[in-house]
């Protein structure tokens, strides 16, 4: 079995544009074509469609853990298109599977038997840990969570949902209604009644100074108290590691403790694995397994990484829950032959190359390197995460006050150094999000940490 640390993707990288800066320290070059495209973007697309950077970039191609922009600048990619390029850019096994399937048939819909869809569903059902599992494919994590909410509310005959504070579950009308992060929830209107629970953020809030055991006990007591004042909800939906929230998480075991309380009342547990699934956290294949004392969730949602850039989402649930709907349904694009072929090839590569193990090993090294840097930068409040899902929270030195300006400055400085990272957090977007493809090598981890060190140190200059 090949080791992805020592045997990264080796197809020749495309050459840079003539005269462009290509080294990590060269700084970005912004051309006239990029500025012209930005003007066209602003003329026809919504104002709320966020773009990174003061001078946004157009990414034109990628290879392995690197991407190039339209001006020929080369970047080490530590964000993977929002955790979606899970294995590598232009992974030959995936691109070959896409091309071969597209040469046979691109689309048919779920009204016809679809061999790649059945094959991927069989593998996901087995990997999920959910007994008698059924799988429904969608085109995004938003749609997957929307489907999970439909199933839970229909199964329980309740439109009341428990969600975590600082959470994010998508951009549809129902999922923004349960999102506990005000920066990503543009309306208070919702078809659901949502109650928000403590526990998703370990180092902020009223229980932050408690020990892990006392933190869990306090959150469980709060949940019991909340349930004592309301009719039994349909479900609790929770991200094991909050993605847009800045890669925050509770102590291991919190959701197992919640599950015991929920079971007393028949309330379902939905684990939102859109960002945590497929081994990214290193220690576990699914994020829920860090809280697995009480077994798998009733419903599991997934998306992003499984398609390595192709639009795949999905829901896994016990048959009695999945089959509770009493009307017909189809999906026009969910389970497309091309995306299913990509998902099968990508999942096979991930398992055969033990990318979960690579995330644990290389991610552990990267966290150590970043914590060593952070100890010398007063603006860093916390370095957190597991595997290749790492958050760096910034605050005004000497305080716990979030510093979104510092996060924006580091994002820009990292880009100038040749590194792409993300932002997030429930406190005015003051956390940096680091989530490279799972084939990241030790050398690339060290290179990225060095660029981040320079970017963080620039805050004091």
Model pLDDT, residue 18: 29
In this predicted model, what pLDDT tens digit does every residue of 123-134 receive, in sequence order? 999 999 999 999
State the number of CA atoms in the 13 A half-sphere of 429 facing the CB.
14
Q: Where are the domains of the chain?
A: 32-91+355-460, 94-352
Looking at 277-397, list the stretches that DSSP marks H as alpha helix, in order from N- to C-terminal side. 319-322, 337-352, 355-374
Fold held by 32-91+355-460: 3.90.1150
| Distance from C-alpha of 271 to C-alpha of 255, rounded to nearest angstrom | 9
> What radius of gyration, in Å, describes the C-alpha atoms of the chain?
22
Asked if 336 and 107 touch (Cβ cutoff 8 Å), the reply is: yes
CA 177 to chain centre: 19
**Residue 329, number of CB atoms within 10 A of its CB:** 9
pLDDT category at 241 given cuts 50, 70, 90 is very high
Q: What is the CATH number of domain 94-352?
A: 3.40.640.10
pLDDT category at 2 given cuts 50, 70, 90 is very low
Which has the closest alpha carbon to 345: 86, 89, 65, 95?
Answer: 95
Model pLDDT, residue 294: 79
In this predicted model, what pLDDT tens digit does every residue of 10-60 receive, in sequence order? 333 333 332 333 444 445 555 677 889 999 999 999 999 999 999 999 999
In this predicted model, what pLDDT tens digit does every residue of 213-222 receive, in sequence order? 999 999 999 9
- Decide if 32-91+355-460 and 94-352 have a common fold: no
Q: Token match 């007591």: residue? A: 221
| Distance from C-alpha of 242 to C-alpha of 447, rounded to nearest angstrom | 26
In this predicted model, what pLDDT tens digit does every residue of 330-361 receive, in sequence order? 999 999 999 999 999 999 999 999 999 999 99
- Tell me if the pTM is above 0.85: yes
Asked if 14 and 90 touch (Cβ cutoff 8 Å), the reply is: no
Model pLDDT, residue 29: 54
Which has the closest alpha carbon to 207: 146, 251, 237?
Answer: 251
Model pLDDT, residue 15: 36
């Amino acid at each position: 079995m090949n080791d992805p640390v020592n045997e990264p993707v080796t197809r020749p990288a495309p050459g840079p544009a003539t005269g462009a800066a290509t080294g990590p320290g060269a700084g970005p070059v912004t051309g006239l074509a990029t500025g012209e495209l930005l003007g066209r973007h602003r003329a026809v697309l919504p104002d709320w469609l966020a773009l990174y950077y003061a001078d946004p970039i157009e990414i034109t191609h990628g290879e392995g853990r690197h991407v190039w922009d339209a001006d020929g600048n080369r970047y080490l990619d530590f964000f993977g298109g929002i955790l979606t390029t899970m294995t590598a850019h232009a992974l030959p096994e995936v691109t070959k599977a896409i091309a071969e399937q597209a040469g046979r048939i691109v689309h048919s819909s779920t009204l016809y038997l679809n061999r790649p869809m059945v094959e991927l569903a069989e593998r996901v059902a087995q990997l999920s840990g959910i007994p008698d599992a059924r799988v429904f494919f969608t085109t995004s994590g938003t749609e997957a969570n929307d489907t999970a909410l439909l199933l839970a509310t229909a199964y329980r005959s309740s439109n009341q949902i428990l969600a975590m504070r600082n959470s994010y579950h998508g951009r549809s009308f129902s999922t923004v209604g349960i999102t506990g992060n005000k920066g990503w929830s543009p309306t208070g209107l919702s078809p659901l009644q949502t109650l928000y629970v403590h526990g998703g953020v370990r180092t902020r809030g009223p229980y932050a100074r408690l020990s892990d055991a006392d933190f869990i006990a306090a959150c469980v007591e709060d949940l019991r108290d909340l349930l004592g004042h309301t009719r039994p909800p349909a479900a609790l939906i929770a991200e094991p590691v909050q993605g847009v929230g800045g890669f925050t998480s509770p102590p291991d075991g919190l959701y197992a403790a919640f599950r015991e309380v929920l079971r007393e009342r028949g309330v379902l547990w939905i684990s939102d694995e859109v960002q945590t699934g497929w081994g990214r956290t290193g220690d576990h294949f699914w994020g829920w397994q860090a809280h697995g004392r009480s077994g798998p969730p009733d419903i599991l949602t997934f998306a992003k990484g499984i398609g390595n850039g192709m639009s795949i989402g999905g829901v896994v649930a016990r048959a009695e829950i999945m089959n509770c709907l009493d009307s017909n349904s189809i999906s026009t694009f969910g389970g497309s032959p091309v995306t299913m072929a990509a998902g099968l090839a990508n999942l096979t590569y991930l398992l055969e190359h033990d990318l979960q193990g690579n995330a644990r090993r290389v991610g552990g090294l990267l966290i150590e390197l970043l914590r060593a840097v952070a100890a010398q930068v007063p603006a860093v409040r916390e370095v957190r995460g597991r595997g290749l899902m790492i958050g760096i929270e910034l605050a005004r030195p000497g305080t716990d006050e979030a510093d979104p300006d510092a996060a924006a400055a580091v994002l820009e400085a990292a880009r100038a150094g040749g590194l792409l990272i993300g932002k997030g957090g429930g406190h005015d977007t003051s956390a940096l999000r680091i989530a490279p493809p799972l084939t990241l090598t030790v050398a690339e981890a060290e290179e990225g940490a060095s660029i981040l060190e320079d970017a963080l140190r620039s805050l004091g200059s």
